[in-house]
Structure 1
Amino acid sequence: MTPGITARLQRIGTDGRYVVVPMDHGITIGAVKGLKDIESTIDAVTRGGADSVLTQKGVARRVHGNKNGAGYIAHLNGSTTIGPDANDKRPTGSVKAALRAGADAVSFHINVGSNHERKQIEGLGRLTDQAANYGLPVLAMAYARGPDIQGDDPEALGHAVRLAEELGADLIKTGYSGDAESFEHVCESTSRPVLIAGGSPDGDLESLRAVRGAMDAGGAGVSMGRTIFQHDDPERMARAVALVVHEDLGAAEALERAEL
């Protein structure tokens, strides 16, 4: 790992642990709650303790000035839920565009097991090569998604995270397998830090229990979007997640400390 990648990883995390709040959903599902006034949301989640936020490059001008010193990640592919295939993520930017947007890292989504896996493997492989030339970390969003795959299957998730490392990713986001015991296999499948996605919110306590389970299994944090930015109090929910990730609190205690 180059000094540049090491330095920039420190900008998007804290002591090797990460609370990333992705807000690239405007492409996928539109300007939903939390994204219309994205400036206020970014201010809230970073005041709450998010280490970094993530958007598509076109929103970068709305990020800087509102992130309270947190890091910034530019996401470089996407699709919509109203198009013919939401799994068909297509490139939306480049490493140079991300640098022009002030990014500390870039991210790329790959659906392992989908009909679009081959193109996405090629895309992630190219991106990690290009990013390495600039000392820019790559967060791979590596999901197990396809017609014959259960998205919480630990074997499939383990395959996805290993694939991401093999292609050169520095950080890897994936789904949660549902419990700490099975998620250990996922974390052990790669030497890279593993972050869990939030998915559709299931309630504050259940969301935090998933974070606690992932950390107990050897995870390095979260890349959690709607669970935080669509919360009625994004600042306090970000704080609760950060308390679990960075201070090793249990789910219930984190809720109490965050006053949720």
Structure 2
Amino acid sequence: MTTTGIDARLDRIGTNDSYVIIPMDHGITMGAVQGLKDIESTIDGVTSGGADAVLTQKGIAPRVHEHKNGKGYIVHLNGSTTIGPDEQDKRLTGTVEEAVRVGADAVSFHINVGSDHEPDQISQLSEITANAQRLGIPVLAMAYARGPGVDSEDPEALGHAVRLAEELGADIVKTGYSGDAESFQHVVESTRLPVVIAGGSKGTDRETVEMVRGVMDAGGSGVSMGRSIFQHENPEAIAKAVAGVVHHDLSTDDALAKAGLALEA
């Protein structure tokens, strides 16, 4: 159930019900990798390029606000590291109240549907959505199909993951891509929520933009794409190309061309 506050804040992190969100919470997961050491410049670049919102852990908030060019801000509420015992074991790193205090327009939470940690993450996401609803804060659920015997690109598994997010009270859901528009349509139809996709590891510019085109053709609502954008040699340009598809319905070639990126990339 939405409220005036949730609707108003959704407008701050999207454009006309579509979303180009750039998560940059990877510092807790991977360390200060390319694009995150000087996160201020990266935030300025992607928001100048057309991103609607950026996303970080709460401690990075002081480095965000002066550089986001009036765009939206999301605080992520759980995490893990690649050098820890189990990267899928995402633990709570903050609360909705803390996110509000550091100036967030929304919060996000990662759940691995099908993993050994799913039960705890279900309980935690349920509590977060209840607290967020009370405060009028939107929740972006990052609901992935991940776990023993789970195919992370299977549209049935992805459809289950996005439906779980709706059942638990999220307002937007992010998940993996099934590989093509035809199969991803099932994922989009599995929920009434806006569905955005993760970018995964960095591919070519064409691969990135073609994936975004497929999501939009399937009825999706945009992207929540990290490394493919913040680790790009020109984050502003690739953000512009992605936003061209999401917000202006450009073809892959037109989006790349308007962003000044090589068509053969």
Q: TM-score category by the smaller chain?
A: over 0.9
2:66 is paired with a residue whose SS is coil
Distance 2:112 2:29 in 1: 15
> Could you tell me the percent identity over the aligned residues?
70
Residue 174 of structure 1 aligns with which residue?
175
Residue 46 of structure 2 aligns with which residue?
45
1:9 is paired with a residue whose SS is helix
1:24 has 2:25 as partner: yes
Quote the offset at 1:252 in angstroms: 1.5
Distance 2:252 2:77 in 1: 33
Distance 1:169 1:251 in 2: 30
Distance 1:168 1:218 in 2: 21
Unaligned runs of 5+ in 2: none
For 2:217, give the aligned amino acid: D
Residue 237 of structure 1 aligns with which residue?
238
Distance 1:148 1:167 in 2: 24
1:201 is paired with a residue whose SS is coil
Runs of 4+ in 1 over 6 A off after TM superposition: none
Quote the offset at 1:156 in angstroms: 0.2
Residue 250 of structure 1 aligns with which residue?
251
Unaligned runs of 5+ in 1: none
2:233 is paired with a residue whose SS is coil
Quote the offset at 1:160 in angstroms: 0.1
Residue 115 of structure 1 aligns with which residue?
116
Residues 138-164 of structure 1: CA distance to partner in whole angstroms, max 9, x if unpaired?
Answer: 000000000111110000000000000
Residue 6 of structure 1 aligns with which residue?
7
Q: When the two structures are superposed, what TM-score results if normalisation uses the length of structure 2?
A: 0.98
Distance 2:96 2:18 in 1: 24
Distance 2:71 2:166 in 1: 25
1:133 has 2:138 as partner: no
Distance 1:125 1:204 in 2: 37
Residues 60-96 of structure 1: CA distance to partner in whole angstroms, max 9, x if unpaired?
Answer: 0000100000000000000001000000000000011
Distance 1:3 1:151 in 2: 35
The number of equivalent residue pairs is 260
Q: Provide the alpha-carbon RMSD of the alignment.
A: 0.4
Residue 65 of structure 2 aligns with which residue?
64
Quote the offset at 1:201 in angstroms: 1.3
Distance 1:192 1:204 in 2: 28
Distance 1:207 1:153 in 2: 19
1:186 has 2:187 as partner: yes
Distance 2:140 2:87 in 1: 20
Matches within 5 A, 1:187-202: 187-202=188-203
For 2:245, give the aligned amino acid: V
Residue 93 of structure 1 aligns with which residue?
94
1:140 is paired with a residue whose SS is strand
For 1:120, give the aligned amino acid: Q
